[in-house]
């Protein structure tokens, strides 16, 4: 981790369940970047029943986007707080308006686009369990917790996400295609997008790792 000293800012983009959280966790372990996930931040606020959590809950449960002004304020505050550290942004920006605000605030060095077929995603999220306070993600049969139903680090109970119900997943997938198409095109025009296509994290991660090592070393 110590060998990477240049500040690097990446955005990870991909449909719900495409593995943004999973790949981000591997990036954290390998490169020491911070993982800034809008979904994790919102879910932590829901657990703590903060004002933000109260506002966000019904949108998330319905598979809709939380209003821009709420999310943008929260995410820009977090990015500002992080300051001069390398990070990976997961779940933000989520539409053209958010991408505009982000680009006015900081320069993004790379966009990692995970392209996973919908049939794979629909199957995966059925088996997803999370430790909501930390954002740690498990999957039965792929990334099992050491003790069934318990978080590896805290031993606390795991839960399923309210928005992982099949009908909500379908809505999230549709919304993703609608809103992120233009955002990907916008980043694409600026030469920032690298797409990683596949069905499994074990084939995608080595490619992402090589790509980042290359980018980070080149400076
Ligand atoms: P989130 O939290 O940003 P999504 O919908 O973008 O949610 P999600 O569902 O968190 O994305 P992911 O992070 O891409 O998916 O995927 P993951 O959790 O790593 O992997 C999915 C599952 O597959 C896991 O169980 C994992 O273990 C497993 N898995 C990974 N690889 C493999 C594999 O190779 N094989 C198998 N078998 N399994 C595997 O946003 C949630 C909501 O918050 C609001 C919105 O309401 C949104 O719907 N929100 C925002 N609203 C407005 N603006 C924003 N910027 C917002 N950000 C969040
Ligand atoms: Mg996630």
pLDDT value of residue 113: 98
**Within-domain flag for 19:** yes
Find the helix packing angle between 201-218 and 20-31, rounded to 10°: 40
Catalytic residue among 9, 94, 124, 136: 94
pLDDT value of residue 178: 94
Does the annotation list 160 as a binding residue? no
**Within-domain flag for 2:** no
Q: Is 12 helix (H, G, I), strand (E, B) or coil?
A: strand
Closest ligand to the CA of 15: 1
pLDDT value of residue 55: 96
Residues in the chain: 219
4 has pLDDT over 90 = no
**Within-domain flag for 99:** yes
Q: Is 63 helix (H, G, I), strand (E, B) or coil?
A: coil
Give the confidence band of 3 by pLDDT, cuts at 50, 70, 90.
low
Give the confidence band of 117 by pLDDT, cuts at 50, 70, 90.
very high
Q: What number is the average pLDDT over the span 192-216?
A: 96
Residues with CB under 5 A from ligand 2 (ion): 21
Express as a percent the part of the chain with pLDDT over 70: 97
Give the confidence band of 186 by pLDDT, cuts at 50, 70, 90.
very high
Q: What number is the average pLDDT over the span 10-17?
A: 97
Total of domains in the chain: 1
φ and ψ of 186, to 5 deg = -60, -50
pLDDT value of residue 203: 97
190 noted as active-site residue = no
Q: What number is the average pLDDT over the span 26-48?
A: 96
pLDDT value of residue 210: 97
Catalytic residue among 6, 9, 20, 48: 20
Sign (positive or negative) of CA dihedral 126, 129, 133, 134: negative
Instruction: Provide the residue range defining the domain that includes 13.
Output: 9-117+181-218
Report the residue among 11, 19, 71 best suited for mutation to probe ligand 1: largest number of ligand atoms under 8 A from its CB: 19
120 has pLDDT over 80 = yes
Measured in angstroms, how far is the CA atom of residue 34 from the centroid of ligand 1? 17
**Within-domain flag for 44:** yes
pLDDT value of residue 218: 72
Contact 52, 42 (CB under 8 A): yes
Joined tokens for residue 158: 């795991």
**Within-domain flag for 97:** yes
Distinct helix (H) and strand (E) counts, the chain = 8, 7
**Within-domain flag for 198:** yes
pLDDT value of residue 219: 55
* C-alpha closest to that of 112 among 195, 177, 209: 195
Catalytic residue among 9, 124, 128, 136: 128
**Within-domain flag for 147:** no
List pLDDT tens digits, range 94-113: 999 999 999 999 999 999 99
Which CATH number covers residue 37? 3.40.50.300
ipTM: 0.98
Q: Which atom of ligand 1 is nearest to the CA of 164?
A: 9
**Within-domain flag for 108:** yes
Query: What predicted TM-score, i.e. pTM, was given to this entire model?
Result: 0.94
Does the annotation list 32 as a binding residue? no
Measured in angstroms, how far is the CA atom of residue 3 from the centroid of ligand 1? 30
């Amino acid at each position: 981790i110590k060998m990477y000293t240049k500040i690097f800012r990446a955005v990870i983009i991909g449909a719900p369940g495409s593995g943004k959280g999973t790949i981000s966790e591997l990036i954290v372990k390998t490169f020491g970047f911070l993982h800034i996930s809008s979904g994790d931040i919102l879910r932590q606020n829901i657990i703590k029943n903060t004002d933000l959590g109260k506002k966000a809950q019904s949108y998330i449960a319905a598979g809709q986007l939380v209003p821009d002004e709420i999310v943008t304020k929260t995410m820009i505050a977090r990015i500002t707080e992080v300051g001069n550290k390398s990070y990976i942004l997961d779940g933000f920006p989520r539409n053209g308006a958010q991408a505009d605000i982000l680009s006015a605030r900081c320069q993004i060095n790379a966009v990692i686009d995970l392209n996973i077929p919908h049939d794979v995603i629909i199957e995966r999220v059925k088996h997803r369990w999370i430790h909501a306070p930390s954002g740690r993600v498990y999957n039965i049969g792929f990334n099992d917790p050491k003790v069934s139903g318990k978080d590896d680090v805290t031993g606390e109970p795991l839960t399923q996400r309210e928005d992982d119900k099949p009908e909500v997943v379908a809505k999230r997938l549709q919304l993703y295609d609608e809103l992120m198409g233009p955002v990907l095109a916008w980043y694409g025009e600026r030469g920032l997008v690298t797409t990683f296509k596949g069905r499994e994290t074990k084939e995608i991660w080595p490619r992402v790792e090589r790509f980042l090592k290359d980018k980070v070393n080149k400076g």
